[in-house]
Amino acid sequence: MFKRNKPIKILPGFLIIAFSGILLSILLIRPVGSHPHVFIETGLVVQLSDEGITGFWQHWAFDEYFSAWVIDDFDTDKDGKFSEEELKHVYEGTFTYIKQHGYFTRVLKSDKEIPVTKIENFSAEIKDNRVIYSFFVPLEIKISQSAQDIIIAVYDESFYCHIFFPPDEVGFDGNPSSWKIEYTTQELPEFSFYFGFLIPTAVKLSITPL
């Protein structure tokens, strides 16, 4: 049987209210105080054909800390590059899980979303002690007579990764001479994330046949 040596002190009402207010404030500011663990700089190259957009290349350059982990874990022969076997392990160990998140990539055509369900030609290289992923997002967007607006956004809704997107410049490959191409950036408040604190910025492409 336990003996109570000292009486339990009841906090005055005003202290309870003050403590509750402090606790509530901590809970409210916690999302703002959180921070990402991985930082990614991006590159974007849109692939064009005679009929429209066939997809786009993404290039992700990771911060030095994440890069060091990938290099240490997956460049097993320590030769400064990834062999085919090592590349397979990089892909399976660090990249496949984001498939369920659409590869952090969102594509809209005329305000209608095109789900990103697969990527192609994944590769990884080590350059200046940083790991760079490259991969192709296949699309089949045919453009006939009028201008077509395509929106591309890349972000991690969990904010575990901070993705610097859009890049300073967008590249075009394939057959860009057949098209009049304009692009700008646009915020997407309807897709705000991380408790509504963050709004993704997208690349808005306007492509018209010549």
> For the chain, what are the domain ranges?
38-209
Q: What is the pLDDT of residue 210?
A: 86
- Residue-wise pLDDT for 53-89, tens only, equals 999 999 999 999 999 999 999 999 999 999 999 999 9
In the predicted model, is pLDDT for residue 124 greater than 60? Answer: yes
| Residues facing residue 42 across a β-bridge | 60
- Taking CB atoms within 8 Å and a gap of at least 24, the contacts of 128-133 are 129/64, 129/67, 129/68, 129/71, 130/61, 130/62, 130/63, 130/64, 130/67, 131/61, 131/62, 131/66, 131/67, 131/70, 131/71, 132/59, 132/60, 132/61, 132/62, 133/58, 133/59, 133/60, 133/62, 133/95
Pick the more confident residue, 72 or 2: 72
pLDDT at 6 over 50: no
Band (pLDDT 50/70/90 cuts) for residue 157 is very high
Select the more confidently predicted residue: 135 or 146: 135
With cut-offs at 50, 70 and 90, classify the pLDDT of residue 28: very low
Q: Decide if pLDDT at 12 tops 70.
A: no
pTM for the full model? 0.83
Per-residue confidence at 13, pLDDT binned at 50, 70, 90?
low
- What confidence score (pLDDT) does residue 76 get? 97
Residue 152 has pLDDT above 90, yes or no: yes
The pLDDT tens digits for 93-108 are 999 999 999 999 999 9
Q: Is the pLDDT of residue 15 over 50?
A: no
